Amino acid sequence: MGNISKIKSQIRLAKEFIIYLAPCKRRLLIIIFFSLCAVIMSMLNPFLLKYLIDSVLPAKNIRSLLSVLVISGSAFTLISAIKNLREYLELKTRHELLFALNSRLFSRMQSYPYQWFRSKSAGEMVFKLSSDTSQIVYPLTKILPHTLIIFFRISVSFAIIFYFDRMLAVISILLAPFLYIPHYIFIRILEKAWLESVILSENILNYLQEVFSNILLVKSSGRETDHINEYSRRLKARMSLEIKTRKTDSLSSFTADILNKLVFGIILGLGLVRIISGRLSPGTLGAIITYLAMLMNIHRDIIALYQNTVQGLISCARVSQILNEKPETGTAQEAELKITKGNIEFKNIDFSYTENKNIIKNLNLNIKHGNHVALAGQSGIGKTTLLHLLSGLYEIKSGEILIDNIPVKKASASYSRSQIGYVLQQPLLWNDTIKNNLRYEAPMASDEEITAAARAACADIFINKLPEKYLTHLGGNNGKLSEGEKQKLAIARALVKKPKILLLDEAMSSMDSNSEEKVLENIRRSYSDMTLLTVSHRLSALKKADYVCFMIQNDKMVIDKPEVITANNREFRDLFLGQI
Ligand SMILES: Nc1ncnc2c1ncn2[C@@H]1O[C@H](COP(=O)(O)OP(=O)(O)O)[C@@H](O)[C@H]1O
Ligand SMILES: [Mg+2]
């Protein structure tokens, strides 16, 4: 029962990927046609052999001998040409399928909410997009034509053997299943090992990705040797698994080979007995043996195809899991959120990341367009969470967030985010020029708009001091800039698209306080209709806001003018004691 349901689910899984073959239908038919031509031609050769042994050689006819040689030589040339053409077509199909599958997988990944990515690692994604998809595509291109060809070759070979000698054909059919016994026994062990190997390889890639993206931490803590040891430990684990798997595979092939020879020997022995008893001509036995040898080769093809398919299905399951996740909600066209002013309203918001810990409880907050509201509160109180909710990165559990009276939840999350400027504490930049980084969120921005934004973010001074100015390439890990400079670029990037709402989440924490105040003043002056929501731990920056929203507990906050809160709220005064 278990086996049947497993087979059913494997078929369902395979179907999910076989549809990718649809656009290559015609080419697949051509491949099948060419392959059949080659098979038919190669199957004629034993007939020629029989003719050669039984008729040409006894008659000592040189002309007939030459014709046989010319015919079989031409057949070989044609078969080789067809084989190469078929391989070329298969390769083309494989690459097209890989393109289709990778594009689809990548765009599905891009459609998932941010929360989904939090439980995944970059290495895992890269592995699925590179190794798993290749593992799927290889058997996918082969399975249909090869199954058909294998089926054709087996039936024709048996039919011909049957035509030559019924008894030998029946014995061959009865003995054939024995050839597959070793594979049946060993495939379960191999399947488990292949899955384990995929996981080990993925973990190695994950590990490397993490080490290289945290290389500054590795270097600054002098932990290089530990990482070298850990990397080689992981490599060794995979190596010994691969070697063990190879051993099992060899044992399986060895047993199959022995059985192969045994079956071959039995049929040959029986054939010889039938020659002695005058029931078979030597030429016919020669032809039968050649067809049998072909059948033995088919056996190898079947095993290789089966193993590739099992490996492919392991990857199919891993990729299918990702393809079938739920995309970000709120993609209804009619609810597209066009931010025209930038009024924000949080209405009775409840939110928790996990079931049992409420981060935000019954929160209400109104922000009028063009105002600057500063969020303040202890680390971990939920300031970043609030900004994540506003930008639709996470979904609220209950309540409503309205931007210009349209619920954020209903709008396409990505579309609404593209209209909000959101600068994080960690300035994320691309390995590209400063100019391209600045126009990332507004690709059509002019040079003037870019320099104006850089000026407002106090970035133009340091950019102009660089030898290549705006064309400076930031390099990997943006190693050429200080953290404060990177933060200035991140703010400038958000300003280039002139959003109606700008969120700055500790976005100036690595700058000196003068720069922070200056940037805030510039933004208020140059982008006066922008609604500004900032998070800062500096009292000087909080004082620049129209209102301070002081988050005290998950269900308690105070909103007032900065000077009023500073003067009247004891908890606020305690938190900023050193700065008052
Ligand atoms: N993805 C997450 N999963 C679970 N808990 C989280 C996640 N992100 C943040 N938290 C928790 O939510 C709380 C609020 O975090 P955050 O909004 O980042 O605080 P703040 O920005 O005020 O320092 C913290 O206790 C934090 O540990
Ligand atoms: Mg935070």
Tens digits of per-residue pLDDT, 517-558? 999 999 999 998 999 999 999 998 899 999 999 999 888 899
Share the mean pLDDT of the chain: 89
User: What pLDDT digit, counting tens, does each position of 228-284 carry?
Assistant: 999 999 999 999 999 999 999 999 989 988 988 898 899 889 999 999 998 888 888
Query: What are the tokens at 338?
Result: 């066009």
Q: Which helix (H) or strand (E) holds 576?
A: none
Q: Give the CATH architecture of domain 334-579.
A: 3-Layer(aba) Sandwich (3.40)
Distance 377 CA to ligand 2 centre (A): 10
Domain ranges of the chain: 21-323, 334-579
Q: What is the arithmetic mean of pLDDT over 76-91?
A: 90
Percent of the chain topping pLDDT 90: 52
Pocket test for ligand 1, best of 115, 118, 353 (most atoms within 8 A of CB): 353
Pocket test for ligand 1, best of 384, 386, 424, 551 (most atoms within 8 A of CB): 384
Q: Give the CATH architecture of domain 21-323.
A: Up-down Bundle (1.20)
pLDDT for residue 396: 85
User: What pLDDT digit, counting tens, does each position of 296-333 carry?
Assistant: 888 888 888 999 999 999 999 999 999 998 887 654 44
Which has the higher per-residue pLDDT, 478 or 204? 204
Q: CA 385, CA 65: separation in Å to the nearest integer?
A: 87
Ligand 1 atom closest to Cα of residue 551: 22
Q: What is the arithmetic mean of pLDDT over 64-72?
A: 86
Residue whose CA lies nearest to ligand 1 atom number 9: 385
Distance 420 CA to ligand 2 centre (A): 18
Q: CA 119, CA 125: separation in Å to the nearest integer?
A: 11
Q: CA 219, CA 381: separation in Å to the nearest integer?
A: 33
Pocket test for ligand 1, best of 357, 358, 359 (most atoms within 8 A of CB): 359
CB 356 less than 6 A from any atom of ligand 1: no
Distance 169 CA to ligand 1 centre (A): 73
Distance 385 CA to ligand 1 centre (A): 6
Q: CA 333, CA 320: separation in Å to the nearest integer?
A: 27
Angle (CA) 527-529-534 rounded to 5° is 75
Ligand 1 atom closest to Cα of residue 354: 4
Distance 383 CA to ligand 2 centre (A): 6
pLDDT for residue 13: 92
Query: Which one of the ligands is nearest to 382 CA?
Result: 1
Q: Are 530 and 371 in contact (CB under 8 A)?
A: no
Distance 506 CA to ligand 1 centre (A): 14
**CA 10 to centroid of chain Cα atoms:** 21
